[in-house]
Amino acid sequence: MPDEKRNDILGKLAELSEEAMHRLQEAPGGDRVVGAMNTMRDRLDELQRRVRGIDELEQRLTALERKVDRLAKDAGSSTPRRSAKTGS
């Protein structure tokens, strides 16, 4: 029963929001508001897509930093350091 009530409430909410959008579009200047809302939605979708990509890049960067650290430690311990001497 709770699922039926939830679906009923969501259905009513969707119906009310559609009605509100139609009323807004019919109001003077409403078409511009609706257009701006649609543009904002598209931009928000693009922003969300980019932010999800940042998480992947951070993981890759962390893995690369670990690899560089390991390589630096290996290179430092396996090759003797030479000091540059000046003079005759």
Residue 26, in any domain of the structure:
yes
Assess if residue 20 is contained within a domain. yes
pLDDT tens across the length of the chain (88 residues): 566 777 788 888 888 888 887 887 788 888 888 888 889 999 999 999 888 889 889 999 999 999 999 999 998 776 555 555 555 4
Q: Contact 25/34 with Cβ under 8 angstroms?
A: yes
Residue 2 lies in a domain: no
What is the model's pLDDT at position 67? 96
Per-residue tokens: 55: 């998480």
- Output the pTM of the full model: 0.43
Q: Print the domain residue range for 32.
A: 10-71
Count: domains in the chain: 1
Q: Give 30's contacts (C-beta < 8 A, 6+ positions apart).
A: 23, 24
In a domain, 5, yes or no: no
Q: Token digits for 88?
A: 């005759």
Does 44 reside within a domain? yes
Q: What is the pLDDT of residue 68?
A: 96
Could you tell me if residue 61 is inside a domain? yes
For the chain, the distance separating the N- and C-terminal CA atoms, rounded to the nearest angstrom, is: 95
- Helical (H) or strand (E) element with 45: helix 30-78
